[in-house]
Structures are given as structure tokens and as C-alpha cells.
Chain A
Amino acid sequence: MAETTHADFDALSTGSLRRRITAKAIVYALLTVFALFYLMPIVIILANTLRPLDDIVRTGFIAWPADPSLSHWAEAWSTFCIGGTCEGVSRYFKNSLAMAIPATIISTMLGLINGYILSKWRFRGADLLFGLITLGVFLPPQMTLLPWAWVLGNVGLSNTISGLILVHVVQGVSFTTLFCRNYFLAIPDDLIKAARIDGAGFWRIFRRIVLPLSPPIVIVAVIWQFTGIWNEFLFGTIFTSGDKQPITAAIVAFSGSGTGERHYNVEAAAVIMAALPPLFIYLVGGKYFVRGLTSGAVK
């Protein structure tokens, strides 16, 4: 894909020198304040992962680690006791991966195929169907809890990771279909016609013409789906229990247990572990995410 460069428009580069300096100073000061505001919680949590528990209890939550130690990270990963089992969050982390990766892949692929059909192989009622599918985008997930409980019970997927995958795929297809269909509208119909005359059928056109044009929207869908599914805890808490829970549901259990003392430092490390994969995905693909959401990309 061709790299496009924009000459930045600098609104502060005109006017007298004094005016320019004052304007820049104000802008940077404001930006710094906001950046600090957003970064502060992360810094505090990170600092707490390195502090011994008695230090936190004694001096409170906001303090710099006097005697930093990484031991709480190891404990959080492999030996910390959650809900009666003492295996750390590693099991739940793997559960989350086992749920989010397949659910992301399947829902993205289904979205691509749906979008392809709804934009390039239109049929009577295609718009109505599209409207119904994207209705899912606007339905609050709480509304679907009861039906899902019934479905999972009947197909025998209660308290399984496969059950969560099914839920997330179906819930996610609304989004991926919306993204892909709207993106594919920008692909000229003439390309499809030319390919049909060239003897290509439904799948060959999809594979050879449409998919090669799709990386920007695939990245958008993958980031959106992965972060959404990973961070989701409502379905996880309600449809799974014990060692089948995703990491978000397990972490919710920290606050719920109530009994015994709180291991703030270990819990902080666990929370950061739970936040890492979406952060990683965003850092890797974020550049394309913004571009995919904003650009036509098909030329």
C-alpha cells in the first residue's frame, strides 16, 4: 500500500512572533495536563506492583516504591489464590486467549463474507437483512443474557470456553458486518463485473479481488473485536465459573471475595497483565486502525 504523507497544517504558525509563542505555550501546557491526567492511574498501579504489601498498607496507595521487587508479578502469574485455586492468573489468561483469538478470527471472517455479499452480490431484501444484522450493534448486551443462557444450556455449552466463543462470534458479527459492508461499498462494481467476465466465480472474486483490498478493514475489525472480547466480563462472569473463566471475570472476583486481606500489589500486577494483550494489539495495529477507519483506501 502506498504510504501517503500529509503536509501538516499548522494553525499556530502565523501571526506575530509573540502571538505564536504564547499560543504554542498554551497548547502544550494544556496537552501536558491532559496527558498526565490519563497516565497517572497507570503509573500508580505500576508503582504498586513493585511495592511490598505492608508498605502499601502503611503509607497508602500513592507513593513511590522504596524497595522495588518483581516478586509480585511472578506470584500474580503463577501462585496467587483466586476463588480457591492457587495457580495465579495464568490459567485465566490462557482461557482469555483461547476465547478471544478464535472468536476474533471467526467473527472477522464472517463479517468479511457478509459484507462482501451485502455490498457486491445484492439481492432482494439485502438492505433489510443488513439493517437487522447491524441492529445488534445497538442492542445492549444485557438484553441478550437470558436468551444466551437458554441457547448455551440447550446446545450443551454452558460453562465452556466454546460457549463464550459462540456468544462473542454472534454478538461480534454485527460489528464486523457493518465495518466490512461499508468498506466494500467503496470497491467499484466494475471490478466485480470485469472479474465475472474473466470467468471468476463468487469465491474466486472474493479471494483474488476483494480480500487483497481488505487489509485496512481487517485490521480495524481485528482490533475492535479482540479488545472488545478480551475486555468483556459480563458474559464471562455469568456463563462461566471456576477455572473456565476468562481473566476479566477472574479479576472481578478480587473485589468480590471480601474475606481475608487484600494483596494490592499482586492484584495490581494481575490487572496490568489483563490489560496487556489489547494494549499490545493496539500498539501493533493502531496506526492502521486509525487509517482504516478514516480512509477510502481503495484506489
Chain B
Amino acid sequence: MSSLEIKDLRKRFGNVEVLKNINLAADSGEFIALVGPSGCGKSTLLAMIAGLESVSSGEIRIDGRVVNDAAPKNRDIAMVFQSYALYPTMTVRENMSFGMESRRVPKAEQATTIARVAEMLQIEPLLNRKPSQLSGGQRQRVAMGRALVRDPKLFLFDEPLSNLDAKLRIEMRAEIKRLHDTVGKTTVYVTHDQVEAMTLASRIAVMFGGVLQQYDTPREIYRNPVNRFVAGFMGSPTMNFLDATVGEGGLVLDGGAVVPLLPDQFPRLSTGRKVVWGVRPEHFSPAAERRAERRGGVSVPIKAQVDMLEPTGAETILFTRISGQKALISVDADDAPEAGAPTQMAVDMGKTCLFDPETDLRL
């Protein structure tokens, strides 16, 4: 059964529509990531689920019950804020007990719950401190602790890691995953970081401009993006988009290079049609390797002019021009060619996709 169900949801601030017809459902215990660029409406959607923003039209159900008009406290949710929103004048313990006090949980039960959660998050030594005496990572833990003492039907996270430095962010990401595995509650997690979404979520909702672009598993979103926006947003470095025309022998890239298409790959394409060819940087490899073939795919050769190298450690990013169009290629650091020279690459053809240049939809 779905524990969260959103139907035809819209949100207007004045006459600006910031959420347009959102449809979404999460199964019990699922981890849903809401991802999209800043300003696309993620926080607004989360606030509506929490009951902090009103619903303009549509329906939100939690555990089957319509909660459109229910107060936040009656929705059985817990939320972790980007700013942590710890009560500054209360100790960590008081921060965690505040909600239980409001709901008249007996004192003894409060104490055992706090002890259990504090142990789970390893924040026992911090219980008597004020938020101002905590580091960023500790505040983050306390904010999660305050949510965990609730034992709610639904956990809501609004960019909980975006104020942490890179190393801590990766640690806490793993921690959140571990917690979700232990607690097993339905979670909606807002982030603008596609890596967080890919690593944590069982399903990802990609949003852009108030519209839900695609809602699917991380694997499907990565492999079969429905449009150019999703393809470009998910994955790093971002997917290359090369302008091309469908020709007799395959794709004719603007600039002249020809890429043979696989038989039956795009059967409905008529010759002469303009398309955008999408290739992820990681689906290039040095021609000699024949990596695609080793995995049962088919590679096609392509020539790239390497302008600049950007070593990142394990892999090196090549800034190249393919048929005169800019493209990023990611290769193993040991395979990196010299800058300033043309080099022969192979593309795993089965993993590339075509988009309509007018509608940006995937073909």
C-alpha cells in the first residue's frame, strides 16, 4: 500500500504557479528523493506534505488518509530542515523532548526514547549542550535525532546535508542510508545533489520548473531519461548533447562526422530529421579497449580533438571537440591521451540516446 500519495497537486503563490500537476506515490518504507535545480519547487512540495504550506488544488494522502487540511502535528510526520532549526535556547535533550512534551508523552518514556535515539546516533555526550556549542556535523545529527524520537509515518528531509563540508557530507549520507535501513520508514528527501539522490533513493522524482519530469528508479533515470533535462541533470559530468541529422549511413553530426547507428536502434527515424545525440562522458573509452564489446554492447569509433585535460584522480576529464562540437569525455587516468592532439575514441552506442531538438523529448 502507498504510504504517501500525491494527486494532481498544484501550488500557486499569488498568480505564480510554482507546482504544476504533481503526481507521485511512495510505497511503505520507500526512500524517495526529490531532486532538481534550485527554485524548482522541491521545498514547497515538501512543505505541503508537511502541512506548512496550503494546497491550492489536488490531494495529498498519508497512509490512505487525505491530509490536505490537517495541521502539521496531526499528519504524523517528522522533518529535518536544511538550517537544522534547532531551538537555540534549549539543550540537545530539550530539543529532542520538546515534541514529545507537546504530545504529552510520559516523562519516563521520553527518557528511554531519547536514550535509544541518542545511542543510535552516537550523540549521548552532547545531550546537555546547547546547539551553539555543537559543530555542523553534530547539529545535523541532533536534527535527525529530533526527527527520530517521533517514530512518525513519514520522514521529510529538506537538503539536510547541504551545509556540511564535502567529507562530512559523504559520511552523513552513508549514515542516513544506514538509519533508513534500520528504521525502515517512508522517507521523502529533497536535494539538489544528484549524487545524493542516486545513492540514497529507491525512486527519484526529478523536478524542473514546478513540473515533475520523471519519477523512477535511479537506474532507469540514468539509463532511460525521458527528456533532455533529466538526461543532463542526472549524471556527472553532465551528458554531452551533439547536434546531428539522421542520414543514410547513420547520424551525421553537424560538422561532418558520421556515426553509424545500430541496426533497429531507432527504427522510426526518417532520413533528414534533425536530432540531438546524447552521450554520457563515461560511455566513451579508448578505441583499443573495446569495452562495450566485452559487456555485450557495440561500440562505434569516433574522433575527438583533445583541447585540455582535467585530472580528478582516478579518472581524467577530457575537454574535447567532436566534429567541431564541444564534448566532455571521462577516461581512466592511465588511458588519458595528450592534450592538443586528435585521438580515436569508442562510444558504447547502445547507451546513447537521441532527443528531439524542438520538444527536448527522448526519441
Give A contacts to B, CB under 8 Å. 2, 188, 190-191, 193-200, 204, 208-209, 212-213, 298-299
Contact of A190 among B51, B85, B89, B90 (CB under 8 A): B85
Whether B102 contacts A200 by the Cβ 8 Å rule is yes
- Given contacts A190-B85, A213-B88, A197 and B72 within 8 Å (CB-CB): yes
Give B contacts to A, CB under 8 Å. 47, 50-52, 71-73, 77-79, 81-83, 85, 87-90, 98-99, 102-103, 132, 146
Could you write out 26 A-B pairs with CB less than 8 Å apart? A190-B85, A193-B47, A193-B52, A193-B72, A193-B85, A194-B146, A196-B52, A196-B72, A197-B50, A197-B51, A197-B52, A197-B77, A197-B79, A197-B99, A198-B73, A198-B98, A198-B146, A199-B73, A199-B102, A199-B103, A200-B73, A208-B90, A212-B90, A213-B88, A213-B89, A299-B132
Whether B98 contacts A208 by the Cβ 8 Å rule is yes
Question: A289: shortest Cβ distance to chain B, in Å?
Answer: 21
- Given contacts A199-B102, A208-B98, A213-B89, A194 and B73 within 8 Å (CB-CB): no
- Inter-chain CA distance A212–B90, complex, in Å, is 9
- Inter-chain CA distance A193–B103, complex, in Å, is 16
Q: Is the interface of A mostly helix, strand, loop or mixed?
A: helix
- Inter-chain CA distance A66–B11, complex, in Å, is 83
Whether A209 contacts B87 by the Cβ 8 Å rule is yes
Q: Which residue of A lies closest to B73 (CB)?
A: A199
Of listed A190, A198, A208, A299, residue having the most chain B CB within 10 A: A198
- Inter-chain CA distance A163–B7, complex, in Å, is 59
Q: Which residue of A lies closest to B53 (CB)?
A: A193
Question: A65: shortest Cβ distance to chain B, in Å?
Answer: 52
- Given contacts A190-B81, A190-B83, A195 and B88 within 8 Å (CB-CB): no
Question: A121: shortest Cβ distance to chain B, in Å?
Answer: 13
Given A193-B72, A196-B73, A212-B89, 17 other A-B residues pairs in contact with their CB atoms under 8 A: A188-B83, A188-B85, A191-B88, A193-B52, A193-B79, A194-B85, A194-B87, A196-B71, A196-B72, A197-B73, A197-B99, A199-B99, A199-B102, A199-B103, A208-B87, A208-B90, A209-B87
Q: Which residue of B lies closest to A211 (CB)?
A: B89
Q: Which residue of B lies closest to A209 (CB)?
A: B87
Set of chain A residues within 8 Å of B102, measured between Cβ atoms: 198-200, 204
Question: B273: shortest Cβ distance to chain A, in Å?
Answer: 50
Whether A194 contacts B81 by the Cβ 8 Å rule is yes
- Inter-chain CA distance A198–B98, complex, in Å, is 7
- Inter-chain CA distance A152–B230, complex, in Å, is 70
Question: A192: shortest Cβ distance to chain B, in Å?
Answer: 9
- Inter-chain CA distance A198–B73, complex, in Å, is 6
- Given contacts A2-B132, A200-B102, A208-B98, A195 and B87 within 8 Å (CB-CB): yes
- Inter-chain CA distance A194–B102, complex, in Å, is 12
